[in-house]
Amino acid sequence: MASKPLRVEILDDAMAAVLRAKSPAERLAIANGMWRSARRIIEAVLRAEQPDWTDEQIRREVARRMSHGAA
């Protein structure tokens, strides 16, 4: 079984400084926006790939993917 290569993403120093300057509420708002954007993208992909799925099936699959299969 082939293993996946380790992929570590490192935050740029300039971006880290920008985020450090944000309040906790601002950082949460950014994270929430990213979460919502990811959810919309996944939903759009699923609707294109599975046009026969119901809204409930789409919702469940989005939840499963967003929870890394824990849903």
Exposure pattern of 9-47 as b/e (b: 16+ CB <10 Å)? Answer: eeeeeeeeeeeeeeeeeeeeeeeeeeeeeeeeebbeebe
pLDDT value, residue 47: 98
pTM of the model: 0.73
Number of residues in the chain: 71
pLDDT tens, the chain, 71 aa long: 577 777 778 888 998 999 999 999 999 999 999 999 999 999 999 999 999 999 999 999 999 999 986 65
